[in-house]
Structure 1
Amino acid sequence: MNFHEFGFDDDLLDGIYAMGYETATPIQEKVIPPIIEGRDIIASAQTGTGKTAAFLLPVLHNLLTSPNDEHSINAMVIVPTRELAIQISQTLEGLTYYTSISSIAVYGGTGGASFAAEKKALSAGVDIVICTPGRMIAHLNMGYVNVKQLKYLVLDEADRMLDMGFHDDIIKIISYLPKERQNLMFSATMPPKIKQLALKILQNPVGIALALNKAPEKIVQEVFMIQEQQKIGLVKHVLSQKQFDSVIVFCSSKQNVKQLYAALKQARFSIEMIHSDLEQDKREQALLDFKNKKLKILVATDILSRGIDIEDIDLVINYDVPKDAEDYIHRIGRTARAASDGTAYTFVSGKEMGRFSRIEKTLGRPVPRGTVPEQFGPPPAARPPRSERPEGRNGKRPGGHKPGDKQRFKRKSKPKPRQQPGTP
């Protein structure tokens, strides 16, 4: 479906085509018409499906074709991270280049000058605000944020915001907003907590869901069974065997990010790292240099796995196995975006085999196994299922229980005070 078929404002269409957009993605085709009609939306779709444009375009169209209060905030987009706020703000600037729409990104980790600029826009009025919860609450608490005429509220990556503990912050922000407004909720997954939040916020919503547990077919996936202590060596080997222009390596902890970064930096790879301990300006610069191809490799935590739109990534490496299938899909979905192909490698140590097996079960098929070079030694031994683990000398399995025993827990009694010699 071509974008002109939605009936968008002409100035907005100029921005759409200037950004290189031609045909709508499936999620855009499904959500744009009901948003233009004024319906509340709850939509789920995996990364790389075009969710950002799916809510920005109809909101922009409605702002351009209906009267609005220029002294109020007219639309608010709440996101979990600063990186996503910046990403959406940049997309918004491109789409609105030929229009009079104003916008501002509001997020923490910046200095006093940025806070003052945010205060001025939030009090004087701005068409669209993209914000993180904590920073917006800081402004709301000071009493100058003008949201009296707000018409649109968007919650992007709602599941991640709840995972990060922002439920109460979201509810507090909403308490400041007019009750009559249009609500749009986008989430990669739909656990019960998201449905409960939707019941509190949305009014008779249109529900739209795209497949969440299916990776893009253009991604070549491989799994490498490797000893934990050999992972750094295998990363070096992979990066040395072929010329990659753009690589993201995902680690599950800041400690692993720092350790891998130091090893690859010492090996003279073109590399930077992104994690939550890094200062905001350094994170932004690393991301900008990576987008502009000034550096080839980013080592990052899952802070980079969602909502960051970077095209032409050749390779994604899961240095650590992600916690579940959704995170796996979000990570590898950084590659094979737009019309490009991509490759995703996952390194699995012995202790991670069970977790990756559960991911494969959710995906509905096994991921092809890659060959680890002989110099890395034998692969880790798979841990047998509990039912097949050997019994101890007392006929019990590890954990102290015989097969079929029910585990019982006894309350520990409070020790009696010791009597002194000579006391009754």
Structure 2
Amino acid sequence: MSDDFESLGLSSNIIEGCTRNGYNRPYRLHQDVIPGILSGRDVVVLAPSCSARILSFVAPLLDKLNRQPSINSIRALILTPTKDLALEIVKIVRVVAQFTGLRIGLLVGDNKTESLFEELTLQNPDVMIATPDNLKGHLSHVKDMLLHNVECIVLYEVDCLLSLGFAKHLRQILFHINQKHQTLLFVKEIPHEIPPALVYFFKSVTQDPAIVRHHSQIRSTLKLIFFTLSEEEKSAAVLYLINERIRCDEKTLLFVPTEDHAEFLKLMFMDKGIEPSICYRNMDRDERILEVSRFKEGKSMLLITTDVAYQIMITPLADNVISWDFPTPKRFLFRVMKTAMHGPGTAYSFVTREDIPYVLNFRFFLLEELTAAPAPTEEQIMRDADMLEVVSEIDQANARAGDILYGRLPPIKADIYADIVRKLLDASPELKSMVLQQ
């Protein structure tokens, strides 16, 4: 396998752009995808959504375009299902393209952040990034905007494009494109079997494609710790983890089921002097982007989010993940895919009695054993009670990468933090009212 971008066939100015994006060497996904795209072959990629996946097509696509003279016409078209994805992609494209002279256009509707791209959009840039509905509408009103010179089209998260009803738009757009072009399809979900409708679409828009399938696997640097507890103990447990088990220089994602949970936990942490970022779907879009940016830039070390909101953002890097409710195996993998990428990390999951069947299902999904952590003995409790240093085996697992354990919180710590939560609720009528509303 190739250890650097140069051996994959990328030119130096594109490699410099990759470095500016934070990639000093290729991931396995890059090694599997980039050569196929550079060869001109159609490619279908089934891999989790992340910035690494975006780079896997952006780098070779820009490299191919940069090797040819510009013709004042759109030569590459990237279609995404949502405005947020388009904005994330254009950021990466601009960084990679900064040493090439290639012109980048963005077409996703009216937004103040897009005004910088307006002139390029009207001048037929080399690369156009758009949502299908906006591109289709623009084609109807701007006669000078032509697609007959498009050499490559990227359908990013094509399964989402189809599920959102864009199939008709896509076929109308493809009708305007030169028959001889390269097609790159990126699938968001990774089913065990590709649905027949998706297979039919693949066959209709590609010719003998290379298929790259990357299942998310649990990294050896990621520790999995499952805390068995009651619903009422979760607030104390998460406060304990953030205060004592997770270092202040580590970034943590906390997944909660609803926006009410997010607002409640934000207020609880703020009462303890911790200011987290929060993100849920019904937030104002600009506010959501600002909150996630604070987390990415390290201005906040804790991001409280829902799964729905997390699905529409480009996943940020994190050292730890906390799951308030136990997820399905696929959702769990989606949550942890950007965790422990550059060193040890931990995925904490809260497991109630009702969740036990799902934990067993998760064990079969991973094909790994879940080890029960022994509770501290009565002798340990009596010996160390005064120093409050009693910890269970599950707590000690923080020091061992690759452990997969389940057990309870250290009993004395559980009591201490339960008391802290009670005092917070008694001192804050607003916090107490939010508990009653959940």
Identify which of 403, 406, 409 aligns with 1:369.
406
Q: Which has the larger radius of gyration?
A: 1
In the alignment, which residue of structure 1 is the partner of 2:226?
223
Percent identity at matched positions? 22
SS in 1 for 2:266: helix
In the alignment, which residue of structure 1 is the partner of 2:203?
199
In the alignment, which residue of structure 2 is the partner of 1:388?
none
In the alignment, which residue of structure 1 is the partner of 2:333?
329
In the alignment, which residue of structure 2 is the partner of 1:352?
355
Q: Distance in 1 between matches of 2:357 and 2:139?
A: 46
Distance 1:120 1:169, change over 3 A: same
Give the superposition deviation at 1:319: 1.6
Unaligned runs of 5+ in 2: 371-403, 416-438
In the alignment, which residue of structure 2 is the partner of 1:150?
150
**TM-score, normalised with respect to structure 2:** 0.75
Q: Work out whether residues 253 and 304 of structure 2, in 8 Å CA contact, stay in contact via their aligned partners in 1.
A: yes
Give the superposition deviation at 1:45: 2.6
In the alignment, which residue of structure 1 is the partner of 2:86?
85
Q: Distance in 2 between matches of 1:66 and 1:97?
A: 16
Give the superposition deviation at 1:273: 1.0
SS in 1 for 2:343: coil
SS in 2 for 1:149: coil
AA partner of residue 150 (structure 2): L
Q: Work out whether residues 15 and 94 of structure 1, in 8 Å CA contact, stay in contact via their aligned partners in 2.
A: yes
AA partner of residue 282 (structure 2): D
Q: Distance in 1 between matches of 2:259 and 2:139?
A: 32
Give the superposition deviation at 1:199: 2.1
Q: Distance in 2 between matches of 1:80 and 1:25?
A: 25
Corresponding pairs, count: 370
Q: Work out whether residues 11 and 98 of structure 1, in 8 Å CA contact, stay in contact via their aligned partners in 2.
A: yes
**TM-score, normalised with respect to structure 1:** 0.77
Q: Distance in 2 between matches of 1:168 and 1:253?
A: 34
Q: Distance in 1 between matches of 2:81 and 2:363?
A: 28
2:255 matches 1:254? no
Within 5 A, what are the aligned runs for 1:282-293? 282-293=287-298
In the alignment, which residue of structure 2 is the partner of 1:21?
23
Deviations 1:203-239 (A, max 9, x none): 21011223x1521221111111222233222211211
Q: Work out whether residues 77 and 129 of structure 1, in 8 Å CA contact, stay in contact via their aligned partners in 2.
A: yes
In the alignment, which residue of structure 2 is the partner of 1:184?
184
Give the superposition deviation at 1:332: 0.9
AA partner of residue 152 (structure 1): C
Give the superposition deviation at 1:119: 5.3
Deviations 1:164-184 (A, max 9, x none): 565555445445544332111
Identify which of 3, 7, 11 aligns with 1:5.
7
Q: Distance in 2 between matches of 1:8 and 1:360?
A: 41
Q: Work out whether residues 272 and 298 of structure 1, in 8 Å CA contact, stay in contact via their aligned partners in 2.
A: yes
AA partner of residue 316 (structure 2): I
AA partner of residue 103 (structure 1): I
Q: Distance in 2 between matches of 1:276 and 1:236?
A: 24
Distance 1:220 1:136, change over 3 A: farther
AA partner of residue 156 (structure 1): Y
Give the superposition deviation at 1:83: 3.9
Q: Work out whether residues 80 and 132 of structure 1, in 8 Å CA contact, stay in contact via their aligned partners in 2.
A: yes
In the alignment, which residue of structure 1 is the partner of 2:125?
126
Q: Work out whether residues 79 and 133 of structure 1, in 8 Å CA contact, stay in contact via their aligned partners in 2.
A: yes
Q: Work out whether residues 221 and 368 of structure 1, in 8 Å CA contact, stay in contact via their aligned partners in 2.
A: yes
Distance 1:265 1:128, change over 3 A: farther
SS in 2 for 1:369: strand
More helix by share: 2
Q: Distance in 2 between matches of 1:281 and 1:49?
A: 20
Deviations 1:223-268 (A, max 9, x none): 1122223322221121111433311112243343333333333433
In the alignment, which residue of structure 1 is the partner of 2:344?
341
Q: Distance in 2 between matches of 1:209 and 1:159?
A: 15
SS in 1 for 2:71: coil
In the alignment, which residue of structure 1 is the partner of 2:212?
208
Q: Work out whether residues 5 and 26 of structure 2, in 8 Å CA contact, stay in contact via their aligned partners in 1.
A: yes
RMSD over equivalenced CA pairs, Å:
2.9
Q: Distance in 2 between matches of 1:176 and 1:256?
A: 47
SS in 2 for 1:148: coil
SS in 2 for 1:368: strand
In the alignment, which residue of structure 2 is the partner of 1:401?
none
In the alignment, which residue of structure 1 is the partner of 2:302?
297
Give the superposition deviation at 1:123: 3.2
Q: Distance in 2 between matches of 1:140 and 1:356?
A: 50
Q: Distance in 2 between matches of 1:230 and 1:165?
A: 43
